[in-house]
Structure 1
């Protein structure tokens, strides 16, 4: 089933499912249970979600909210499978990569009337989630990527944090730590030679792009991407600065010197475990840059309780709860996007870290690659890149092959 759905455009699947109509709260009596799918089973995230749901239940005793954490590797295909099987969630956490499919499909209820003070939402944060001027999902997380650094491990290897924070210097430092400590150097979290979209945190430093802004022209065979992937390939197989294919390393367990991740991961750092800091992505040949990951909250028309779900979303996204969620998920509310406000919800992070990585990153960043037909497209890119992950790969040839594979999909 997973392989089948990977070959289907999610937009087409969702579009075919909306024709039958959605859930109906009218006339229902007694308690109801709302189900919201998420991709995070992080205990700290779950605890916060449960606390918000419990507060809601105090004033809505007939409504119980349950959070269904699904593995991120096949999150979107699992959600679409549930919809196809008549088991649609009431609310879904939508990843930025599949946002164009969900937004365009007609599967979501417009949320403009469900969001308190919608004018406070930053236009840059909502752009991906709008259709015909309507807000189809609430971008409750607009989170730039940064680099977490294990300063104790660097010190053990006799390495200092490069004053000139560039990719060349970072990879040199990461390779040295790996060689001297037996640990890994830099981990691009959640990449694992599978989710290629996380490589945008690297290749955007070369001003490379997977495809043009209009989504019609492949960028993998262009010189910026060739240069970026050549650099990355050398870092993996020559410099040994990144884990090789098949090698797992968890920065938060002290197994690598650095990792590229978002502040939602900060809760994994237990105080006293090891010294660490958080810094922006390194500058590339094209200069400084930032890459943003987003999560949108959407109400499914096919859910059993669409109206009740929209009411809970009103509560979940209120300014008060937005401030609580800011502990892990930088909010889209402009009134809350300042270091002092975010610092209150993020005691493990310093105001200057929040300013440099989050505030400045949101102001200047670009969202990870997204496109309609994301499931089929991402599978094609992943398969096309597979020959790249071995020594001696023909990098330009591999990248040309990626474009050959996805050009028909981009043309749809």
Structure 2
């Protein structure tokens, strides 16, 4: 989504340097390859996982061995909850990283503000890169016209993990049996969840990471009703649409009437065996216990609008104010080439169409069966709609969360609250 409004803290941080992004020069640094030796690169990331870091450092060592002018490449983990604000603070304070991971909800701000360097020319010129292998749908959020501004290094579909032991304990069919007999719908999942709650005391379905705060995770539900928070061009609030009202009425009933979803202040961890279903990204499969319960992986339940898929994305961009923009772009080209993308696929589902195969993704995800990858993971990546994003994302998120607080009480007027939500964010959407 794009807006002609003044662009958030990112644009403010980059005032005076946006023109540099358009011409390919370095924002406050050497830009091209004026500095021919002792180049130090830093990439901010939001993971501190030792396996991830070992993989990244291995790729970096291979690059430095072939490019001795780059003497160090540092991966700088930042806390996820404050990640975007920390990166923008570093940019504003003159301590910009050379490269940065970017969350999908911040992508419109980073792309539209000039915070990131264009990548297309560098990637297309890199021998063996195969630029055309990048999926158009995966790249859409990260483009300005035909120019790729950020590389979508991870496109992770949201899926449904099912605890079949919990369903059996409640005398219910397994998830696969529900899918086979045509009862894999939100209404059926909610009914099963309510039965599990009543008979076992465990939770029914959990939208992981929602926690009655992070409302955009509910797109994994409302997309099944054909609902959207705003119009396609991002200028009109549609939280008050009939489709969204119906979706939130379903969620409100699940939380306060049927009890199929934990209510506010109540938590349940699927991976600890505390719920029958959870909606989360495929990357959470590593949380499954080795000797735990019988589980399955299924697509998102069908909604009234039919089948659908939702993905989360992370991009990598070269920061325009970095000291070594061209060197950073060339390292990004190496980091995301076909060979290294295949290695990264072990943790980050790739945007390369050639790698979206059962063989590649099975090797990267040994806990999943080839059938689960073919039936759930690959279609989710190929057809999934990315979670909601917009310029001024932080301010919109804060206003929306505050407005939706009124929804999470028994007897709330769902339509009235969603109308109130549009009233609170409409001015932020206007062009």
**Superposition TM-score, scaled by structure 1 size:** 0.92
* Partner SS state of residue 246, structure 1: coil
* Partner SS state of residue 410, structure 2: coil
Q: Say if 2:7 and 2:391, in contact at 8 Å, map to a contact too.
A: no
Bigger drift between 14-23 and 303-312 goes to 14-23
Aligned residues between the structures: 406
Within the candidate set 15, 22, 26, 2:28 is matched to 22
Aligned 1:244-393 pairs, distance under 5 A = 244-393=263-412
Q: Distance in 2 between matches of 1:309 and 1:223?
A: 47
* Partner SS state of residue 15, structure 2: helix
Q: Distance in 1 between matches of 2:189 and 2:149?
A: 40
Q: Distance in 1 between matches of 2:371 and 2:289?
A: 20
* Partner SS state of residue 108, structure 1: coil
Q: Distance in 2 between matches of 1:270 and 1:282?
A: 24
Compute the displacement of 1:100 (Å): 1.0
Q: 1:101 and 2:120 equivalent?
A: no
Compute the displacement of 1:130 (Å): 1.0
**Superposition TM-score, scaled by structure 2 size:** 0.88
Q: Say if 2:222 and 2:228, in contact at 8 Å, map to a contact too.
A: yes
Q: Say if 1:184 and 1:243, in contact at 8 Å, map to a contact too.
A: yes
Q: Distance in 2 between matches of 1:55 and 1:171?
A: 50
* Partner SS state of residue 145, structure 1: strand
Bigger drift between 393-402 and 153-162 goes to 153-162
Q: Distance in 2 between matches of 1:10 and 1:364?
A: 32
Q: Say if 2:10 and 2:88, in contact at 8 Å, map to a contact too.
A: no
Superposition RMSD in Å: 2.2
Q: Structure 2: which 5+ runs fail to align?
A: 1-5, 21-26, 124-128
Deviations 1:200-256 (A, max 9, x none): 000000001001101111111110000000000111112222222222333223332
Deviations 1:349-378 (A, max 9, x none): 112211222221233321111111111111
Q: Structure 1: which 5+ runs fail to align?
A: 1-6
Q: Distance in 1 between matches of 2:9 and 2:375?
A: 36
Q: Distance in 2 between matches of 1:8 and 1:376?
A: 11
Q: 1:398 and 2:398 equivalent?
A: no
Compute the displacement of 1:198 (Å): 0.8
Partner residue, 1:113: 121
Q: Say if 1:10 and 1:375, in contact at 8 Å, map to a contact too.
A: no
Partner residue, 1:81: 89
Q: 1:12 and 2:11 equivalent?
A: yes
Displaced runs of 4 or more, over 4 A: 25-32
The 3 A distance-change label for structure 1 pair 159 and 57 is: farther
The 3 A distance-change label for structure 1 pair 47 and 239 is: farther
Q: Distance in 2 between matches of 1:58 and 1:272?
A: 42
The 3 A distance-change label for structure 1 pair 199 and 359 is: same
Bigger drift between 344-353 and 221-230 goes to 344-353
Q: Say if 2:43 and 2:100, in contact at 8 Å, map to a contact too.
A: yes
The 3 A distance-change label for structure 1 pair 224 and 54 is: same
Deviations 1:47-77 (A, max 9, x none): 4333333433443454333322333333222
Compute the displacement of 1:335 (Å): 1.2
Compute the displacement of 1:15 (Å): 4.1
Partner residue, 2:24: none
Q: Distance in 2 between matches of 1:268 and 1:51?
A: 25
Aligned 1:223-242 pairs, distance under 5 A = 223-242=242-261
